[in-house]
């Protein structure tokens, strides 16, 4: 279907970018990562992939797409990394961490196993780890195990490093900043590093949610899958949720983003409240 007023070939653009190019990019990222790109993403796709053309020394999008079709593994990784979005912050959607804190206090079985399936640059899994320590005390390091995955290898490296500009932690309380971060001095001034005790609670690894087999170790007490489903169409969402379901304990919690809903998957999960879901079978049974 033609995109009306397709904005690809503008005089101010370094490379020609046709609707055919955009459609092929759209097909490739959907097939490889399940991400659905709307017509409104044309400018974003051009901007991000133009950097890849410069990096590879290519001069046309058709040459770049031919490189991908030739199964250049390193460039496939760069292609996917370029088109994934990684907006995040510490304690984003704060009510989820209040719910998590109470949930952790109620869990008796150890270890408590949590999966963050789109860890981005690490703010979410580190927020989970901080919540665990605030809820369970110093023993949280052995009581809670966090698995954190992402499709984008660049953000995984940043998450593992755990180093952030100081303004990224400015909204945390003074007590949290002192307890959980080391502030840089000298050449590292203006940066903050996550303390080793938090890093030790988290195992980072690359994972594609479209893969038939995931390297996630269950059973899981909670899954954080926030602001992930919005990038997939409904059939892909359902397939991913089907694969998640047996990994989550019968009384486990599934956390989604504020703009996400699972009406189309109510046979799998039901809303408990505040974009927190439980197994459909557990709904209405006094689940806490």
Domain 95-163+195-279 sits in which CATH superfamily? Vaccinia Virus protein VP39 (3.40.50.150)
Does residue 134 contact residue 103 with C-beta atoms inside 8 Å? no
Q: Does the annotation place 254 within a ligand binding site?
A: no
The pLDDT of 29-46, averaged and rounded, is 90
pLDDT of residue 230 exceeding 50 = yes
Q: Where are the domains of the chain?
A: 19-83, 95-163+195-279
pLDDT at 85: 72
Q: Does the annotation place 209 within a ligand binding site?
A: yes
| Lowest pLDDT segment from 1-5, 87-91, 112-116, 165-169 | 1-5
| Lowest pLDDT segment from 76-90, 119-133, 201-215 | 76-90
Percentage above 90 pLDDT, the chain: 73
Residue 143 and residue 205: Cα distance in Å, rounded? 21
What are 238-255's pLDDT values in tens digits? 999 999 999 999 999 999
| Lowest pLDDT segment from 44-48, 71-75, 85-89, 210-214 | 85-89
Residue 72 and residue 66: Cα distance in Å, rounded? 10
pLDDT at 4: 47
Q: Does the annotation place 150 within a ligand binding site?
A: yes
Q: Does the annotation place 226 within a ligand binding site?
A: yes
The pLDDT of 146-158, averaged and rounded, is 94
Structure tokens at 76: 């496939």
**CATH code at 19-83:** 1.10.155.10
Q: Does the annotation place 58 within a ligand binding site?
A: no
Average pLDDT, the chain: 91
Residue 90 and residue 128: Cα distance in Å, rounded? 9
Sign of CA dihedral 70, 28, 243, 209: positive
pLDDT at 70: 87
List 147's β-bridge partners, or say none: 115, 203
Residues known to be catalytic: 48, 150
For residue 2, what is the DSSP state? P
Backbone angles phi, psi at 194, to 5 degrees: -65, 140
What are 2-13's pLDDT values in tens digits? 454 555 556 678
Cα-based angle 117, 120, 124 (whole degrees, multiple of 5): 70
Percentage above 70 pLDDT, the chain: 94
Give the pLDDT band of residue 203 (cuts 50, 70, 90).
very high
Helix 42-56 with 61-69: angle, nearest 10 deg: 80
Give the pLDDT band of residue 202 (cuts 50, 70, 90).
very high
pLDDT at 284: 66
- Choose between 2 and 277: higher pLDDT: 277
What are 156-199's pLDDT values in tens digits? 999 999 999 999 999 999 999 999 999 988 888 899 999 999 99
pLDDT of residue 129 exceeding 70 = yes
Q: What's the Cα-to-Cα distance from 60 to each of 63, 65, 73, 199, 217, rounded to whole Å?
A: 5, 9, 20, 42, 43
Whether the domain at 19-83 and the domain at 95-163+195-279 fall into the same CATH topology:
no
Q: Does the annotation place 92 within a ligand binding site?
A: yes
Q: Does the annotation place 251 within a ligand binding site?
A: no
Structure tokens at 65: 């797409």
Q: Is the bond leading into 111 cis (omega within 30 degrees of zero)?
A: yes
For residue 222, what is the DSSP state? E
The pLDDT of 103-121, averaged and rounded, is 94
């Amino acid at each position: 279907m033609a995109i009306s007023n397709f904005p690809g070939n503008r005089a101010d653009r370094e490379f020609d970018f046709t609707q055919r190019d955009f459609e092929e990019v759209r097909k490739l990222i959907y097939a490889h990562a399940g991400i659905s790109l709307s017509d409104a993403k044309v400018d974003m796709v051009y901007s991000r992939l133009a950097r890849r053309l410069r990096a590879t020394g290519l001069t046309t999008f058709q040459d770049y797409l031919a490189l991908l079709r030739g199964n250049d593994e390193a460039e496939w990784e760069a292609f996917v990394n370029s088109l994934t979005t990684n907006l995040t912050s510490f304690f984003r959607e704060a009510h989820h961490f209040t719910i998590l804190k109470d949930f952790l206090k109620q869990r008796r079985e150890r270890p408590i196993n949590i999966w963050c399936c789109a860890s981005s640059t690490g703010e979410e899994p580190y927020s989970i780890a901080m919540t665990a320590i605030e809820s369970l005390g110093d023993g949280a390091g052995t009581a809670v195990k966090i698995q954190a995955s992402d499709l984008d290898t660049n953000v995984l490296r940043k998450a593992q490093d755990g180093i952030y500009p100081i303004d990224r932690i400015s909204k945390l309380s003074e007590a949290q900043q002192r307890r959980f971060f080391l502030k840089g001095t000298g050449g590292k001034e203006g940066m903050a590093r996550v303390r080793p005790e938090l890093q030790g609670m988290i195992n980072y690894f690359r994972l594609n949610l479209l893969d038939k087999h995931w390297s996630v170790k269950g059973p899981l007490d909670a899954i954080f899958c926030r602001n992930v489903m919005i990038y997939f169409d409904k059939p892909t969402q359902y397939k991913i949720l089907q694969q998640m379901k047996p990994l989550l304990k019968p009384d486990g919690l599934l956390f989604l983003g504020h703009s996400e809903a699972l009406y189309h998957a109510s046979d799998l999960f039901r809303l408990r409240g505040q974009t927190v879901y439980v197994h459909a079978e557990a709904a209405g049974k006094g689940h806490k």
